[in-house]
Structure 1
Amino acid sequence: MHDKPLSKLAGHLLRRLPDASHPTRHRVGPDTFGLEEEKVLRFAEDRLDPAEEPRLAEEVAEVLPLGWSLSPRGKERLHTVTEHLGGERQLLEWLDRHPGLPRLTARLVALMGALDRYSDDAEVVEALRSSRAEDPFPAGLENILPPGTSEETLSDISYRIDELLFERHTQDATRVALAATDWLRDAAQRSASSSAGISEMRDLMIHLHKDISEADAAA
């Protein structure tokens, strides 16, 4: 994966705060979500057979979107893997080294982190508002975007991707993600602003679209 998207993720991977307007975050699932304690411990102690690591990566990818519902035991196991790898960024890089669901999940999480980050950028929000004046409902986002555009718009898209992953609708999550990168890229290109922030967003969305498309094709 390109380093640039990962560099935008600090604080977003495992510590994204729940939004009171999204009650479905409180869904509860199985106690450990498939993360085997014995396998996690062997990985943390560098005793895991290399042949078993791809399966552990798949298990981790499966639990990441469920972080809101993990039991304390499940969170502890995920934390153990994350700490052994060196932190949140290193966890994504590790997942990205494993093709299939791990790589695709890592790249979707990278996009969600970027969407959350740009939600607070007034210049980006204005560019999106201007874009929607020309095209109110961009392709692929018709059933997700509300009529108006605000600082909540990008976080709503991020939430929807996360929710689809939670529900195991990976292909639907991917389609929404690619539509979002297309929209933000086009909005940046149409924007009257030529600021570094808008240019950065355009380049980041181009990178993420390519990364997600490649991971999806190989999944």
Structure 2
Amino acid sequence: MHDKPLSKFTGRLVRRRPGVSRPAPERVGPDTYGLDEDKTLRFAADRLGPEEEQRLAEEVAEILPLGWSLSPRAKERLYTVSSHLGGEPQLLDWLDRHPGLPRLTARLTAMTGNLDRYSDDPSVVEAVRAARAGGALPAELEELLPPQTDEETLSDLAYRIDSLLFERRTGDAARLALTAADWLRTAARQAPSRSPMLDEMAEFMAHLHEDVRQAGAAV
């Protein structure tokens, strides 16, 4: 992410809070999704060439949004890749080093994870509430978010992006993320009071907007 590496923000990601993802009943993926076993094992043994590693990164990006809908075998292979890299934050950093779908997926995943984290901060909730009261909410977000602003508002937005990724509507997910990032950056900068989390969110959303735009153009 140009002068601000993705690791600055993925390193702070926390696991989704219970109930955040709220998977819909139809979110049941087929059991055929997975990673190529041979490439996975050779990657874990550091015996994969650049071209094959790019393809593996594309496969990981394709299945990462499917989450609990993956078959046990697919989860096991994804865990093998993630463990070899050092964990989930390092997995996103690795995807970000591969152009196309892997990079875009990494940046959108970083956004949704941090939206959940920002939801826990009262100053962020107040800033979002103030921005909505000022009538600054884009029409696209107005149609998606519940009227009431509370600690679930940003998690709802993260869920919408996650859902689009799950449905393989990556372009729509990127467009929603760009709209949300621009609005949240403005909300944070115009908040009635300041806080470290608001300053961080404003910085993150500013860089993320440009980075998602660049990554999306290559997909």
TM-score by length of 1: 0.91
2:174 corresponding residue in structure 1: 174
Could you tell me whether the CA contact under 8 Å between 1:5 and 1:114 is conserved in 2? no
Distance apart, 1:75 and its partner CA: 0.9
2:7 match: 6
Whole-angstrom distance in 2 between the partners of 1:88 and 1:94 = 10
Q: Distance in 1 between matches of 2:46 and 2:104?
A: 25
Distance, in Å, in 2 between the alignment partners of 1:177 and 1:203 is 15
In structure 1, list runs of 5 or more residues that go unmatched.
none
In the other structure, the counterpart of 1:210 is 210
What's the RMSD between the two structures over aligned residues?
A: 2.1
Which residues in structure 2 correspond to 1:1-219 (within 5 Å)?
A: 1=1, 3=4, 5-10=6-11, 12=13, 15-17=15-17, 19=19, 22-24=22-24, 27-135=27-135, 137-219=137-219
Shift of 1:19: 1.9
Instruction: Give the 3-state SS of the residue equivalent to 1:47 in structure 2.
Output: coil
Compare 45-54 and 97-106 and name the one that shifted more. 45-54
Provide the C-alpha distance between the structure 2 equivalents of 1:38 and 1:163, rounded to a whole number of angstroms: 30
| Aligned residue identity for 1:83 | S
Q: Which amino acid aligns with 2:68?
A: W
Deviation at 1:72, TM superposition (A): 1.6
How many positions carry a matched residue from both structures? Answer: 218
Distance 1:109 1:23 in 2: 16
Q: What fraction of aligned residue pairs are identical, expressed as a percent? A: 63
C-alpha change, 1:74 and 1:17, in structure 2 (3 Å) is: farther
CA, structure 1 residues 138+102, in 2 after alignment: closer, same or farther (shift >3 Å)?
Answer: same
1:48-99 Cα deviation digits (max 9, x unpaired): 2322111100000011100121122111100000011111121111111111
Q: Which residue identity does 1:181 align to in structure 2?
A: A
Contact 1:61 1:95 in 2 (8 A): yes
Q: Check conservation: 2:21, 2:159, Cα contact below 8 A.
A: no
State the secondary structure of the residue aligned to 1:68.
Answer: helix
Letter in 2 for 1:86: G
Is the CA contact 1:140–1:175 (under 8 Å) kept in the aligned structure 2? no
CA contact (8 A) 2:188 2:202 kept: yes
Deviates more, 1:133-142 or 1:108-117: 133-142
Distance verdict in 2 for CA 1:161–1:29, change over 3 Å: same
Verify the 8 A CA contact 1:39 1:56 in the aligned structure 2: yes
Amino acid at match of 2:53: E
Over residues 94-146 of structure 1, what are the superposed CA-to-partner deviations in whole Å (9 max), with x where a residue is unaligned?
A: 11111100000000011111101001011100010011011164243122111
- Residue type of the alignment partner of 1:59: E
CA distance in 2, matches of 1:6, 1:23: 27
Q: Which runs of 5+ in 2 are unaligned?
A: none
Q: In the superposition, relative to structure 1, how do residues 32 and 110 fare at CA in structure 2: closer, same or farther (>3 Å)?
A: same
CA contact (8 A) 1:18 1:25 kept: no
Contact 1:131 1:187 in 2 (8 A): yes
Instruction: Quote the Cα distance in structure 2 between the aligned partners of 1:21 and 1:102.
Output: 21
Q: Which moved more, 1:1-10 or 1:125-134?
A: 1-10
Greater CA drift, 200-209 or 31-40: 31-40
